[in-house]
Amino acid sequence: MSALNTDLYELTMAAGYFMAGKTEDIATFELMVRRLPEQRNFLVAAGLQQAAEYLLNFQFKREEIAYLRSLRQFRRTPPEFFDYLAQLRFTGELFAMREGTPVFANEPLAIVRAPLIQAQIVETYLLSTLAHQTSIASKAARCVLAAQGRQIVEFGSRRAHSPNAAVLSARAAYIGGCDGTSNAQAGMMFDIPVSGTAAHSWTMAFENEEESFRALQKLLGQDTVYLLDTYDTLSGAETAVRVGRPMWGVRLDSGDLDTLSREVRLILDRANLGDTRIMATGDLDEFRIERLIQAQAPIDSFGVGTQLTTSADAPALPAVYKLVELNSGGTERYTAKFSGEKSTVPAAKQVYRYRHCDAVAMFNECNPDFKGEPLLRPVISKGALVEPLPCVRAVRSHCLEAVRSLPERLFSLQDALPYEVTIGPPLLDLAESVRAEHLERVLPETAN
């Protein structure tokens, strides 16, 4: 975690704000996802703990400042800026949705209100932290819906975008409702249940399959899961039967999982191993899980890797961080961007959740009609944590419950009729007046 881990332009802009005398300007930025990826009916907010830890520990190291000073881009920057940077901490406010909360397009996931320079520099880190974990938690929630109560374990560390991302993906997958992860470091760091079976190399490392199964049984007892497909799945099942109990069950990792699971179930049942379980792995995603369940394949547990850990069908969310208010020299100003599709709505917002719809209003809009639950809550105030953040187990419970409360049509893996999100009239009026005022200011200028 380094304050230097940001886009260079955040730092050159910081220098520019410093030179323009804007160190006292207070900015409000909103972080949101512009649109839901295809076939996503909702997202699950995640990554807040890491985002908050970053802000709480925000600080430049001496050598990082020396590096910046060495860059061509800072050759016109006065030395006072680097002194300023050396003492810079995050002293502002962070409002955010609780991790595990379902969230929709154009609803702020998080709001940063802080001195402009601070709020600008933290953009890149906050976006990658919150968007990454939100995308994985959202994918996990879909897998969990597809599995209809069967166990799902996240197994994709090896396919993550770096070992560090593996740990955070495991965390997000658990928040989204998975039952555990294979990643041992994630297990230790976040108190997530860990599980695992054995690899093909285990089977190959012994003289024959039976010897490898016996050695595994000696190690794991009733947690033993025999991996059947190193040489041939069905003869692997026969070997599992010969070695027998104690065992948890068997794992299928290749081939036609529907057919093989039935054949293997039959082999196990005939050997009076009816209470042993079948786990399936191998390029699974929510769609393949749904099909297996619809076909009533006798699979008790799913290990999901690549597709979940990288959210492979939607590997990046269109998350943005937009300036919506600026207090400069004591004057409060609402700001927005007006370029086509990428336009934004000015002013800090609150999202109120009702039974089956959300209302977005101005943050400070007092209206006794707002009886929904305000989703954006204070997390950091004046640079300090408002209250301890919940552990991931609590976050996961919140997610499971909140997802269950959504309209049922959103549980479809395909695009459903969108969730209703209304924007309040005062906000729309404000957007219109900011735009009109801007045009008034800009048009005479461009007419020159």
> Does residue number 201 form part of the binding site for its own copies (CB under 8 A)?
yes
Site string for its own copies, 42-71 (x = CB under 8 A): ------------x--------xx--xx--x
- Distance (Å, rounded) from C-alpha 387 to C-alpha 393? 17
Whole-Å CA distances, 108 to 208, 231, 346, 370:
57, 51, 12, 17
Whole-Å CA distances, 135 to 36, 42, 93, 127, 330:
10, 10, 24, 12, 38
> Does residue number 111 form part of the binding site for its own copies (CB under 8 A)?
no
Tell the smallest beta-carbon distance from residue 312 to its own copies (Å). 5
| C-beta of residue 403 within 8 angstroms of C-beta of residue 102 | yes
Of residues 168 and 410, the one with the C-beta less far from its own copies: 168
- Distance (Å, rounded) from C-alpha 253 to C-alpha 97? 38
Of residues 9 and 354, the one with the C-beta less far from its own copies: 9
Q: Which of 35, 83, 205, 269 binds its own copies (CB under 8 A)?
A: 205
Tell the smallest beta-carbon distance from residue 192 to its own copies (Å). 11
- Distance (Å, rounded) from C-alpha 132 to C-alpha 135? 5
- Distance (Å, rounded) from C-alpha 40 to C-alpha 43? 7
Q: Which stretch binds its own copies (CB under 8 A): 104-112, 142-150, 216-224, 384-392?
A: 216-224
Task: State the virtual CA torsion across 256, 257, 261, 264 in degrees, nearest 10.
Answer: 50
Tell the smallest beta-carbon distance from residue 374 to its own copies (Å). 25
Question: Omega of the bond prior to 246 within 30 degrees of 0, cis?
Answer: yes
Question: Residue 179's Cα: distance from chain center in Å?
Answer: 16
Give, as ranges, the residues between 119 and 158 that touch its own copies (CB under 8 A).
120, 123-125, 127-129, 131-132, 155, 157-158
Of 36, 26, 12, 117, nearest to 324 by C-alpha is: 26
Of residues 229 and 358, the one with the C-beta less far from its own copies: 229
> Does residue number 436 form part of the binding site for its own copies (CB under 8 A)?
no
> Does residue number 25 form part of the binding site for its own copies (CB under 8 A)?
yes
Tell the smallest beta-carbon distance from residue 270 to its own copies (Å). 15
Of residues 1 and 295, the one with the C-beta less far from its own copies: 1
Give, as ranges, the residues between 231 and 250 that touch its own copies (CB under 8 A).
231-233, 235, 238-239, 242
- Distance (Å, rounded) from C-alpha 107 to C-alpha 185? 33
Site string for its own copies, 169-198 (x = CB under 8 A): x------------xxxx-xx-----xxxxx
Of residues 89 and 337, the one with the C-beta less far from its own copies: 337
Q: Which of 116, 173, 250, 297 binds its own copies (CB under 8 A)?
A: 116
